[in-house]
Structure 1
Amino acid sequence: MANSTDPFEVPEQVRAFAEKGVSQARDNYAKFKEAAQNGNGAIEAVFSAASNGVHAYSAKLLDFGQANTSAGFDFLQELVGARSLTDATEVWSAHTRRQFGTFAAQAKELAELGQKIATETAEPIRTSTSKLFQPVV
């Protein structure tokens, strides 16, 4: 019969299994921690890109507003200088054609800028996701 004062010994197989489990838990924690940190970095990059995009879009809208306002004042000045109804009609028609062309170009430019902003804003998410789902080697 074993003496109650004998120290308890853990079998070598149980000890090895426990050590392996602890090691795997540490590795998994490190991977989880890295993924969380990368996720935070990706979120910060998304907000930064979105903020820059909103600024660029707003600046473009302001530029267009200034250009359109200036064109409106130029039109009014030309209209006031018209000497006849025929001249006024020609000035009005020319201005209308120019503005339709300008509005179409501005709409196209805004659409392209919006697409660029969306792409740049989504890039950190795409990069982070591709890193997260890379095959384990």
Structure 2
Amino acid sequence: MVEATPVTASTKKVAKAATSAFEAAMPKLDIPANLEVPAVMREMAEKSVQSAREAYEKMKSSAEETTDLLEDTYSTATKGVAEYNAVALESLRTNVNAAFDYMGLLLGSKSVSEAVEISTGHLRKQFDVLSAQAKELSTLAQKVATDTAEPIKASVEKSIKKAS
């Protein structure tokens, strides 16, 4: 435990002497009580404050626009991905049902030639179905990408127009 040193008269004298020595070493600055800031300085300060306010407002506006853009982009992308997933799941359901139908017909065939005919017909039909599904999914993916990128593209064009 630290004990406090008692303040004695000699300690006070030493502190007063140190303060006096410090004040004597420092230059004297006589600042008048009614000091007026020159008009030029006041005007510069006001312009600086106004410029700072304008810069803040521009940054705030830009941040709000960017936030809105991101929200729109995210919303569009979410809807597009959900639509894409729904189409993909429907394609999967169709393909699984076709496979079960094929297996039922194949197991019900009475001869090898009938089984070959069923297999050939199924493969031809599935090739056409899979081609159509791939085309539909590809078209939908392009649409989602375009719809998602459109707000970003518009924002960039707007920014370029502002800058020029």
TM-score (norm 1): 0.85
Find 1:86's aligned residue among 92, 107, 113. Answer: 113
Shift of 1:60: 1.0
Alignment match, 2:137: 110
CA distance in 2, matches of 1:8, 1:36: 42
If asked which structure has higher relative contact order (CA below 8 Å, sep 6+), I would say: 1
Alignment match, 1:47: 74
Give the RMSD, CA atoms, in angstroms.
Answer: 2.1
Query: Where do 5+ consecutive residues of structure 1 fail to align?
Result: none
CA distance in 1, matches of 2:156, 2:109: 63
Cα 1:4–1:98 change in 2 (3 A) is closer
Is structure 2 residue 90 aligned with structure 1 residue 57? no
CA distance in 2, matches of 1:136, 1:11: 37
Is structure 2 residue 70 aligned with structure 1 residue 35? no
Find 1:12's aligned residue among 26, 34, 39. Answer: 39
TM-score (norm 2): 0.72
Letter in 2 for 1:70: N
Calculate percent identity across the aligned residue pairs.
Answer: 39
Query: Where do 5+ consecutive residues of structure 2 fail to align?
Result: 1-29
Deviations 1:55-108 (A, max 9, x none): 112111110011111111221222233232111111110110111111111111
Q: Secondary structure at the match of 2:161?
A: coil
Rg larger in 1 or in 2? 2
How many residue pairs align between the two structures? 135
